[in-house]
Amino acid sequence: MKIIRENFYMLSGGPGAGKTAVIEVLRARGYRCVEEVARKILRQQMKFNGDAVDWKDRSKYREVMLSWSIADFENVDERVRPVFFDRGMAELMAYGNPPGTEAPAHIQRAVALFRYNPIVFVAPPWQEIYRADAERKQTFAEAVEVWRRVTTCYEKCGYVPVELPRDSPDKRADFILKRIGEGHGGAVKDADLAPRLALTERRSL
């Protein structure tokens, strides 16, 4: 049986597209937000030169991300107000697979079991704000490829990507809250989502 949390919303996109800044704005406005597990793991592993990182053991890194993602999902007890996740479990379906292969069966089962709201907000590539750092080592071109890959992945997993405008973190937060009914204008209606949900469901088969 699926575990569905309609009030859990994911923010995604390529690295350096500004989604985490939006998360911080939402947190400042009083919404519960869940930090990206990949960043938390990298900070932990770098403290003791661990190998569960992208540039050493990608398989181990993915397993730790899966474990931490499930823990974050299960540990949030809010069932009414929106909760915002910096990335979601479905992205693991597209991470670390050898060319021409699918994600391991246990990851597929986890992604099918733990379900967030069908809408996933995606920050598009934005070269003007892109910056590499100690944890974000990708070039901008690589970041664009990640954006393409995760967007396709969410669609195949039955989610509906909604692109964020290239605007300030505050304006992007306003866009999200209006879309889910927390701002003026009300929530997007199920009928508005139905055609796109049907398309993503066909792609997930």
CATH number at residue 72: 3.40.50.300
Greatest alpha-carbon pair distance for the chain in Å reads 51
Q: What are residue 89's DSSP bridge partners?
A: none
pLDDT, tens only, 8-59: 999 998 888 889 899 999 999 999 999 999 888 988 999 999 988 888 988 9
Give 74's pLDDT tier (boundaries 50, 70, 90).
Answer: very high
pLDDT, tens only, 114-134: 999 999 999 998 878 777 665
pLDDT surpasses 90 at 186: no
Q: What is the 3-state secondary structure (H, E, C) of 24-55?
A: HHHHHCCCEEECCHHHHHHHHHHHCCCCCCCC
Looking up tokens 């699918």 gives 102
CB atoms < 10 A from the CB of 6, how many? 13
- Catalogue the E-assigned strands of 54-201: 83-86, 114-115, 119-123, 160-163
Identity of the amino acid at 70: I
**Count of structural domains, the chain:** 1
Residue 44 belongs to domain spanning: 3-204
Looking up tokens 């139905």 gives 194
Q: Pick 202 or 103 by higher pLDDT.
A: 103
In this prediction, residues 176-191 reach a mean pLDDT of 66
d(CA 110, CA 194): 24
93-100: long-range contacts at Cβ-Cβ below 8 A with a sequence spacing of 24 or more?
93/153, 93/156, 93/157, 94/149, 94/150, 94/152, 94/153, 95/58, 95/62, 95/65, 96/58, 96/59, 96/61, 96/62
pTM of the model: 0.83
Average pLDDT of the residues of the chain:
86
Q: Are 41 and 52 in contact (CB under 8 A)?
A: yes
pLDDT at 44: 92
